[in-house]
Chain A
Amino acid sequence: MPIPIENLKLDIKKLIMSTLSIDDINPDDVDDEKPLFGGDNALTLDSVDAIEIIMAIQRTYGIRIADQNLAREVVRSVNSIAQFITEHPADAKV
């Protein structure tokens, strides 16, 4: 059964924060739509963090994001990560 989207978004925020050892931000303060990189979101990440997140998504959801052009689009925001996990075809999973 698919995970409800709001639960998935919360899981993604928790995954990002545990992967990057961030414990001083409340997941509820992270905006779903605002960019995670170089923006004014509660979480502001850099390109090294992006690779950590890509690998964490692979480990947790079994989806490999191989191409960097795609990766840039996927890790743009919590919403875009959630959309990718929801829509990604099963045959691309690890």
Chain B
Amino acid sequence: MIIQNFNHKMAAHCESGTITSLLNHGGLNITEPMVFGIASGIFFGYFHKMKSFAFPTFIVRNKPGKMRSNIEKRLGVKFKSYDFKDTVKGQQSLDQLLQQNTPTAAQVDFFYMDYVPSWERVHINVHFLVVIGKKDDIYTISDAYFPKMVELAASSLEKGRFAGGNMSPKGFIFHLDKLPPSIDYNKAIIKGINKACFSMLKIPIPFIGIKGMRMFARKVTEWPKFARDTEHLSHEIMKINILLEDQGTGGAGFRFMYATFLQQAAEMINKPELKELSGELMKIGDGWREISLFSARIGKNRDLGPEKLRQLSEMIRDRADVEERFFKSLSRAVK
């Protein structure tokens, strides 16, 4: 059976896209940027030396799962979630929910999604999709990165749901349980913005928010020390482009999606200053895109001498300066 009235839509990011799909299906008319913004999805963290990462890296969004819990708190919606040790029980529960016509989101390792061309598949344990049907041993999937719904063998979905490693999904699924009778969008938007500003400006941890960007700027010149050889270094430098532009960021490290949220929020809660800030953030995103292109170019050309890394460092420091000003203005705008 396939849930007939499920409306598949592409989205910029898998987690915000999945949450948006479930809310839309439940009858709440909300956009992906609005979900992302209310959930305070925008973030920055730089990890120079951590056990979980083989090489220094950075993130541009909040922790996987956090968007769902923030949306629950701020909109008053309820999701039911489950995880499993037993693969059989995991599949049975999913099948039961589908029998009850409940579109169900699942966390998977992206690598096992056979509908993705093999050259694009990488191990990412925090990919989210919506399962909307099953016939024989084939599931129908709404994956926000694909223009149409896709099919996936039960065995592949099981491998994806129960993959091991860092942040393993453990069969995690969730679905919409309840929508509130009414939503105070004004309060939700302001809370979402305040929390994002707090994360970017005030968390007293040196590798988070604007402080994290400055650490990234300082430390990127040390990256050659961690690389095995030029090939490895070029691969890691080019990954800056992937982390900013791909992996469902909506482009330039989620800055464009957050700018769209601010634009929509300006109208929704009648705060025209948010629209101006939206335009500013679009331009900030363009600057991140310049970093993305610069990294991809020097990586591709293996042009990774100290001068180029110093240039990259300067570009990142400049983003930290403009984002610090931006988030201070944003914080003042919602006071």
Interface residues of A (CB under 8 A from B): 46-48, 51-52, 54-55, 58, 64-69, 71, 94
How many whole Å from A1's CB to the nearest CB in chain B?
28
Beyond contacts A51-B245, A68-B246: 15 other A-B pairs, Cβ-Cβ < 8 A, are A51-B292, A51-B293, A55-B289, A55-B290, A55-B293, A58-B286, A64-B256, A64-B286, A66-B251, A66-B256, A66-B257, A67-B12, A68-B12, A68-B245, A69-B12
CB-CB contacts below 8 Å: B263-321 with A: 282, 285-286, 289-290, 292-293, 296-297, 300
Interface residues of B (CB under 8 A from A): 10, 12, 145, 238, 241, 245-246, 248-252, 256-257, 260, 282, 285-286, 289-290, 292-293, 296-297, 300
Using CB atoms, name the residue of chain B closest to A59: B286
Give the interface SS of chain B, mostly helix, strand, loop or mixed.
helix
Q: Which of B145, B249, B260, B296 contacts A51 (CB 8 A)?
A: B296
Q: Are A66 and B285 in contact (CB under 8 A)?
A: yes
Q: How many angstroms from the CA of A52 to the CA of B238 in the assembled complex?
A: 14
Write out the residue numbers on chain B whose beta carbons fall within 8 Å of the beta carbon of A51: 241, 245, 289, 292-293, 296
Q: Are B251 and A71 in contact (CB under 8 A)?
A: yes
Using CB atoms, name the residue of chain B closest to A52: B293
Write out the residue numbers on chain B whose beta carbons fall within 8 Å of the beta carbon of A46: 300
Q: Which of B251, B286, B290, B297 contacts A67 (CB 8 A)?
A: B251
Which interface residue of B252, B285, B296, B297 has the most chain A CB atoms within 10 A?
Answer: B296
Give me 28 A-to-B residue pairs in the complex whose CB atoms sit less than 8 angstroms apart, sorted by A's number: A48-B238, A48-B296, A51-B245, A51-B289, A51-B292, A51-B296, A54-B289, A55-B289, A55-B293, A64-B256, A65-B251, A66-B250, A66-B251, A66-B252, A66-B257, A67-B12, A67-B250, A67-B251, A68-B12, A68-B245, A68-B246, A68-B249, A68-B250, A68-B251, A69-B10, A69-B145, A71-B251, A94-B282
